[in-house]
Amino acid sequence: MRLNLAPLAAAALVVTAFGAQAQATGPIKVGFMLPYTGTYASLGQMIESGFKLYVQEQGGKLGGREIQYFKVDDESEPSKGTDNVNKLIKRDQVDVLVGTVHSGVALAMAKAAKESNTLLIIPNAGADAITGPMCGANIVRSSFSNWQPAYAMGKVAADKGHKKAITITWNYAAGSESVKGFAEAFEKGGGKVVKELNLPFPGVEFQALLTEIAAQKPDAVYAFFAGGGAVKFVKDYAAAGLNKSIPLYGPGFLTDGTLEAQGPAAQGMFTTLHYADNLDTARNNAFRKSFALTYKSQADVYAVQGYDAAQILAAGVNAVKGDLSKRDAVTAAMHKVVVDSPRGKFTISAAGNPVQDIYLRQATGNNNEFRGVAVKALADPARGCKL
Amino acid sequence: MDLPTFLVQCLNAVQYGLLLFLVASGLTLIFGIMGVINLAHGSFYMIGAYMAFVLAPYFGDWYLTKLLVGVALAAVFGFVLEWAFFSFLYQREHLQQVLMTYALILVFEEARSLLVGNDVHGVTTPEWLNGGFQLGGLMAYPWYRVFASLACVVVALGLYFVVNRTRLGMMIRAGASNRDMARGLGLNIKLLYRVVFAGGVALAALAGMIAAPLSSVYPGMGGSVLITCFVVVVIGGIGSITGALIASLLVGFVDTFGKVFFAEYSGVGVYLLMAVILVWRPEGLMKRAY
Amino acid sequence: MTRTWIVPVVAALALFALPAVLTPYTQDLVVKIAIYAVFALSLELLVGVTGLVSLGHAAFLGIGAYVTVLAAGDSGGSVATVAPLAVLAAAGYALFVGALSLRTKGVYFIMVTLAFAQMAYFVFHDTKLAGGSDGLFLYAKPALGALNLDDKRHLYYTVIVTLVATYALLALLMRARFGHALAGIRVNEQRMRAAGFATFGYKLAAFVIAGAIAGLAGFLLAIKDGAVNPELLSWHESGAVLLMLILGGIGSLRGAVIGAIAFTLLKELFQLESLLGPVASHWQMTLGFTIIAFVALLPKGLIGVRSRFSGAAHG
């Protein structure tokens, strides 16, 4: 046994030695938990770029302190979520967690953040529960709740006179919440969702379901997909000829960052989102220019969300001049801030979610162009939040 | 469900089943002839799909040429892999084969990550297969899916021809029924195994290439195909190509119509089918009947 | 014979004393390893003792974990109800799977167990029974009198006690008539049947017991993580536990425990960026090559390393 225990003991020692690196003062430790691989990899990259752009614009410091970054690839895998976030919280002992894209993973992050009372800023994941039953003072979102753009779309669809709709999405939290938000507004406006189709995440074999849609002949279809799935669905929808007879609607994720790949299949599609690429405001133009210069690529909504996450953190840190031990003042400032975002100014609700305008956009060329405001200053109902 | 919709769903089921058959036939051949349980078979499917993606810019619309080149490359790869790795597995017990081939999956996935990255990619269909034909007023059925089904049928016929009407096929059937006797009669078993393995890999890779535009190319795509293939082989009977065909079509129908009628439980349906068949025929529907 | 007891007893005592010197992160790690050791031990009964290679054992782990979360509900419930429910659910599914798959042999058996595990996976992944692909969270942990599983120390000792008890139970089983019958079945089933043993019954019993213990490991895992996910039932998990057995050495209970330790530590090691740099993000490849090397060079596992040098047989 001696022969076998020695190497194992050595391995255990190595793991612990390289793991813990506690720090008292000095740089603010920011832990990114984002998808750097898999179907959401490009989104993770955009978020990090946006965040770092803001810090760079502040001279690399927030509240007078430097920023030290830690990264964990969450692979958009909810099963590894708890393990991964604990690496940042327990092993690297970060001051602030920033993440993630996938709602299921974000739920694990929120739970861990609540249990360890770590600051958490969510730059994308829209899980309603995070600013609902799982809300906490230390958790703020810079993006949206799944309900928001979906509700706006439902209102738009009802206003356009559609009466019969079918929804289709992946079978996970983000998908079902989005569909619920759409149904709520659509049915309030006099329509009815006759069928809810879904398939397991991240499957892209839509053929059987497209056939079902064709058979049911609804007035409209609402789809929630993102990343690679969004590209495939819009293309398959057009390939089946359905886009000529049944208009396809969705939240902005259906067409954000995917227009080039989708090509003619997506042209003319209406979507709702809290951002539009060609929003002609001074703030947005300056942001997009700065982003393009730094990263040699066009910013998208995910970059904006990352950028605004940094703004929210800055508001909190500046309010206490860098002393993060004054936690209550930090979170209070983070909730009171009026964020001067490229998407337009927005505030944070008591539950931690942005209260913002949702825009109607139309896919034209390679851009989702602004067509008007679908709903002004829409606040997520934060059902179940006790804050 | 009205008739036109039913017919379209049948088309969908057959197309899925035929693609599955292509992958499963390779697996059942390798199982049946060499007795090796190969968990990495799904990886060959993935390799084929990624090849379709990587080769696309070089071949453009020369789609059939691309397929042929891909199949040839896969066969060579299979040949080398058998010589370098799999030939050592025949003598080992099943558990070791399981673990070695499982490790191979890990290696292949990471190699894919290193060479091509982790993004999801779409593969476009060639110009001459774009569009579809109108099915009444219902929807357009894509030409590419028709092509996929036809290609699988052609390969299936070719497989039948090779196995039942050529010398090679005779050797395969001999090696399958009694390895030692065949060797005793002068058959070069080593070379035969290598050829069969290469063939199995080529079949799986071809299926992957054909499926790439339909399912997109993404990390982990080999895993789901693998397990469904196992189910097909269990239902059809190890070593039986006809069994694999019948089982694949059965699975195709259960899966497609399951998605429509029992959306949530469609994934479970295929396994329930397997359970039922097992109760009735533990050795599969058509054990070893070519 | 007394010599074989010394090492496990010493190890158990050491485990009880450890919390005094461990950081929270490493204490978590030890708990994780101990739970996986219980899981590996359960599979050892099937693979090592009875010779049944199951590639779907993770299903029972997952079912135990899910039932724990579902039974605990909002208030946590009592350990006295939740734990037996989890174990019974896992054992029940094992009975169903075993009854059907034990009709097959060899390669078929491997594939069929894999397929049934996939079936359970899809039930949790696709349906609205549980949280779908996002999994479920355990908001309140079950308690039993003074035992509060929310407390890390209590959880630690509970897990260690379970590990020791499982080890002892299996060691006793192996020495009893039941264990000898299973070993006989592994060596030559036909002979056992000729000798009058109802081999199907024995195999099924072993399968169900193994499933039950795996369910217990699942219960502990759900409590430790506070979250369950369909990936717990995936074939990657089933493959991982088989790997633990072969790493440690098939055929001995010690091997199962050593394998669990080795596998978990290796995974942690391979993912350490501070040690391996850029290779760390491709840890699966490193793991893959390690497995191949192990199976090729050390088919008897780490336990076999010692006998290679001392030449002694190990039981």
Can you tell me the distance from the alpha carbon of A154 to that of A181, in angstroms, rounded to the nearest whole number?
7
The pairing of beta strand A354-364 with beta strand A270-273: antiparallel
Residue A366 banded pLDDT, cuts 50, 70, 90:
confident
Query: Which residue in B122, B139, B256 is closest to A241 by CB distance?
Result: B139
pLDDT(B290) > 60 = no
Residue type at position A109: M
Helix segments in chain C, DSSP class H: 3-17, 24-44, 58-72, 79-101, 106-126, 152-175, 177-187, 189-194, 199-225, 235-248, 253-270, 273-276, 283-297, 301-310
Give Rg (Cα) of chain B: 19
Do the beta carbons of residue A149 and residue A273 sit within 8 Å? yes
Can you tell me the distance from the alpha carbon of C101 to that of C70, in angstroms, rounded to the nearest whole number?
28
Q: Specify the DSSP class assigned to residue B34.
A: I
Average pLDDT (B119-132) is 81
pLDDT(B157) > 50 = yes
C16 CB-contact burial (10 Å; exposed 0-12 / middle 13-18 / buried 19+): middle
pLDDT(A24) > 50 = no
Contact B132 A210 (CB under 8 A): no
Residue type at position C260: A
Can you tell me the distance from the alpha carbon of A207 to that of A215, in angstroms, rounded to the nearest whole number?
12
Can you tell me the distance from the alpha carbon of A24 to that of A28, in angstroms, rounded to the nearest whole number?
10
Can you tell me the distance from the alpha carbon of A298 to that of A279, in angstroms, rounded to the nearest whole number?
14
- Give the CB-side neighbour count of residue A124, counting CA atoms within 13 A: 33
* Dihedral angle over CA of A203, A205, A209, A214, nearest 10: 140
Contact B9 A205 (CB under 8 A): no
pLDDT(A258) > 50 = yes
How far, in Å, are A37, A105, B224 from residue A75 at the CA level? Answer: 5, 9, 18
Residues of B in contact with C104 (CB under 8 A): 278, 282-283
Global pTM reads 0.84
Contact C274 A18 (CB under 8 A): yes
pLDDT in tens, A123-180: 999 999 898 888 899 999 999 999 999 999 999 999 999 999 999 998 888 888 999 9
- The chain B residue lying nearest C54, using CA atoms, is B95
For C166-228, the three-class secondary structure string (H helix, E strand, C coil) is: HHHHHHHHHHCHHHHHHHHHHHCHHHHHHCCCCHHHHHHHHHHHHHHHHHHHHHHHHHHHCEE
Which of A208-222, B119-133, B236-250, C216-230 has the lowest average pLDDT?
Answer: B119-133
Average pLDDT (B243-249) is 93
Displacement of CA B184 from its chain's centroid (Å): 32
How many other β-carbons are positioned within 10 Å of the β-carbon of residue B113? Answer: 16
How many other β-carbons are positioned within 10 Å of the β-carbon of residue A385? Answer: 21
Tokens of B186: 């002068």
Do the beta carbons of residue B187 and residue B195 sit within 8 Å? no
pLDDT(B284) > 60 = yes
Cα distance from C192 to chain A (closest Cα, Å)?
Answer: 35
For CA atoms B65, B12, B234, C96, the dihedral sign is positive
* Binding partners of B (≥3 Cβ pairs within 8 A): A, C
Do the beta carbons of residue C111 and residue C117 sit within 8 Å? no
- The chain C residue lying nearest A73, using CA atoms, is C281
Residues of B in contact with A228 (CB under 8 A): 119-122, 216, 218
Residues of C in contact with B247 (CB under 8 A): none
Place of tokens 């909730």: A335
SS3 A129: helix
Sheet strands (E) in chain B: 132-135, 139-142
Can you tell me the distance from the alpha carbon of A74 to that of A298, in angstroms, rounded to the nearest whole number?
25
> How confident is the model at residue C308, as a pLDDT?
59
Tokens of C294: 């192990």
pLDDT in tens, A224-254: 998 778 888 998 898 888 988 899 999 998 9
Average pLDDT (C38-64) is 94
Q: Which of residues 70-99 of B touch C (CB under 8 A)?
A: 88, 94-96, 98-99
Query: Which residue in A4, A14, A108 is closest to C302 by CB distance?
Result: A4
pLDDT in tens, C172-193: 999 999 999 999 999 998 899 8
Residue to test with chain B: of C52, C96, C118, most B Cβ within 10 A: C118
Do the beta carbons of residue A308 and residue A146 sit within 8 Å? no
Residues of C in contact with B227 (CB under 8 A): 114-115, 118, 235
Which of A15-19, A320-324, A368-372, B260-264 has the lowest average pLDDT?
Answer: A15-19
Has the ipTM of the complex gone over 0.85? Answer: no
Can you tell me the distance from the alpha carbon of B74 to that of B86, in angstroms, rounded to the nearest whole number?
15
